Amino acid sequence: MTVALSDHFSYGKLIRFTLPSMAMMVFTSVYGVVDGFFVSNFVGQTPFTAVNFIMPYLMILGTVGFMFGAGGSALVSKTLGNGDPEKANRIFSLLIYVSLGGGAVLAVGGILSLPAVASLLGAEGELLEQSVLYGRVVLLALPAFVLQMEFQSFFVTAEKPQLGLAVTVAAGVANMVLDALLVGIFSFGLVGAAAATALSQAVGGFVPLIYFSRPNKSLLRLTKATFDGRSLWRTCTNGSSELMSNISMSLVGMLYNVQLLRYAGENGVAAYGVLMYVSMIFNGIFIGYSIGTTPVVGYHYGADNRTELKSILRKSSWIVGISSVGMFLLALVLAYPLSLLFVGYSPELLELTCSGFFIYSCAFLFMGFAIFGSGFFTALNDGLTSAIISFLRTLVFQTTAVIVLPLLLDVDGIWWSVVFAELMAMAVFLVFLAGKRKKYGY
């Protein structure tokens, strides 16, 4: 049964509508996990460290896709709720064309700047060489990656989340198969892992481009677009929270790597990489839920249906809360087997990873509320509030904690810093939620 944005959403319908978005984000996260598994077990520890070392910078360059996707889907869904589908399609088309061109420019700049960036972050010798090699191959597909991130949001707005899931699964399967072939069988090493990721991103970005370019049964289609500076500005400002969140997370990831190199050497960066793989998947579930609810909230906000806004917020709070506890318990159970899977070849690295895993797992109790909260205000077209939550969560709370706590707790302070940041971000979201309840009527 098709679920429409204008429907009343029960718990079952809300989960059914957002489930494809959650699955999309999980499969997107699997790309890095699969790369990490094959590189760690078939290529070596230093290349594995290089992948995790340079990945935050690669993610920074791809964040415009999150910005155009989150901010654009909120604006487009609100325009649909206002009853103007032709304008919604013009805005959608403009955003796709602009982001595609922007992705190409960022790819060229990223390829040229990689050696300087990796060196500035502390990489030298083989680590520097491997980081640049992996990054340059992956960046060849950056325009496709930007589109892939953007279409994840627009598939939901187009009322085709299942189709978006199918495309993402296809890209994820392509990545797994290509990693097995290029790294596991043909022994192309780090270049093979990077090529597998780049080719899978091409599937995830260009297949939706073809779909929306042709006549289809969704709410959206690519058409001729005229420059609309106001809509572009509103999209960028409203999506700035997602841009800020992803840039900040990547910058903080770089800072984590610098601190871990200082306190634990390459073993610390490798252990952090394993934690990031699990965090990306769990984060992906929360981000996917936020992506799935954004057009729903935006539509009912545009239609001035405050009763449905209250209902969605209440149901979402329960869903996020129960999921948070479940993820915390699951992380505790999986700490040892996952650590063994990635770094079982080194007893010292295995012990460090497991120790960090148990501490880091506490963050899953709080992060879902901050992620949903930021997305909720984005859907209400309140980009400033959303950006403040994201900015404080990542760049302020995590940066402060990862600098200060290691001085008191050594390496464990680095793991605890994430827990502290997520707890504080949840508190900030609750303050804004209470303070703006009358304005938005939720």
Is 2 among the domain residues?
no
Q: State the pLDDT at residue 32.
A: 64
Closest CA to 365 of 290, 260, 432, 282: 282
Q: State the pLDDT at residue 221.
A: 94
Q: State the pLDDT at residue 212.
A: 96
Q: Give the total number of structural domains in the chain.
A: 1
Most confident listed range (8-22, 90-104, 274-288)? 90-104
Name, in order, each residue with C-beta under 8 angstroms of 86's C-beta and a sequence gap of 6 or more. Answer: none
Exposed, middle or buried: residue 220 (CB in 10 Å: 0-12, 13-18, 19+)?
Answer: buried
The total of other beta-carbon atoms located within 10 Å of residue 210's CB is 9
The total of other beta-carbon atoms located within 10 Å of residue 122's CB is 15
Q: Using a pLDDT cut of 70, give the percent of the chain over it.
A: 98
67 contacts 239 by C-beta, under 8 angstroms: yes
Residue 1 has pLDDT above 60, yes or no: no
Tens-digit pLDDT profile for residues 283-301: 889 988 988 898 889 888 8
Q: Which residue has the tokens 């190409």?
A: 104
Tens-digit pLDDT profile for residues 309-349: 999 999 999 999 999 999 999 989 988 888 887 777 778 88
Angle between helices 161-179 and 11-38 (to 10 degrees): 20
Could you tell me the two tokens for 243? 């841009």
3-state secondary structure (DSSP) of residue 170: helix
- Rounded (10°) CA dihedral 95, 98, 99, 105: -170
Whole-structure pTM value: 0.72
Residue 308 has pLDDT above 80, yes or no: yes
For residue 223, the enclosing domain spans 11-440
* Local structure of residue 215 (DSSP, 8 states): -
Tens-digit pLDDT profile for residues 248-270: 777 777 888 888 888 887 788 77
Sign of CA dihedral 116, 119, 124, 128: negative
Closest CA to 254 of 146, 370, 123, 408: 123
CA separation for the pair 333, 327 (Å, rounded)? 10
Averaged pLDDT, 36-51: 85
Averaged pLDDT, 106-116: 96
Between 6-15, 139-148, 269-278, 286-295, the lowest mean confidence (pLDDT) is in 269-278
Is 239 among the domain residues?
yes
Is 97 among the domain residues?
yes
Averaged pLDDT, 225-242: 85
Is 64 among the domain residues?
yes
CA separation for the pair 26, 37 (Å, rounded)? 16
Is 62 among the domain residues?
yes
Q: Which residue has the tokens 């270049």?
A: 191
Is 419 among the domain residues?
yes
Averaged pLDDT, 148-164: 89
3-state secondary structure (DSSP) of residue 2: coil
Is 105 among the domain residues?
yes
Is 408 among the domain residues?
yes
